[in-house]
Homo-oligomer: A and B are copies of this chain.
Amino acid sequence: MTSNQIPDIVIGRLPIYLRALTYMAEEGKEITSSQELGERLGISSAQIRKDLSHFGEFGKQGTGYEVAYLRDQLKRILKVERTWPVALVGYGDLGHALAHYGGFAAKGFEIVVLFDNDPNKIGQKVAGKEVVDIAKLPQVVREKNIKVAIIAVPSSAAQRVADALVEAGIKAILNYAPIHIAVPPDVRVQYIDPAAHLQRMTYYLE
Interface residues, chain A, with chain B CB atoms under 8 Å away: 3, 7-9, 11-12, 14-16, 18-19, 23, 42-44, 47, 77-80, 84, 86, 92-94, 96-98, 100-104, 107-109, 147-148, 150, 155, 171-172, 174, 178, 180, 188, 190-206
Contact = CB atoms under 8 A, between A and B. Distances in A.
Given A84-B205, A107-B199, A174-B198, 4 more contacts: A80-B202, A171-B201, A188-B201, A192-B194
A172 B19 contact: no
A192 B197 contact: yes
B199 A23 contact: no
Contacts of A108: 195, 198-199, 202
B103 A193 contact: yes
B101 A178 contact: yes
Given A14-B199, A108-B199, A204 B180 contact: no
Contacts of A44: 7
A77 B194 contact: no
A84 B15 contact: no
A165 to B, nearest CB: 13
A185 B160 CA distance: 44
Nearest to A147: B205
A18 B203 CA distance: 13
Contacts of A194: 98, 101, 103-104, 150, 174, 192
10 contacts: A15-B193, A19-B193, A78-B199, A79-B206, A84-B202, A94-B97, A102-B155, A103-B195, A148-B201, A190-B197
Given A97-B92, A101-B178, A103-B178, A203 B42 contact: no
Contacts of A14: 199-200, 203
Given A86-B198, A205-B172, A47 B9 contact: yes
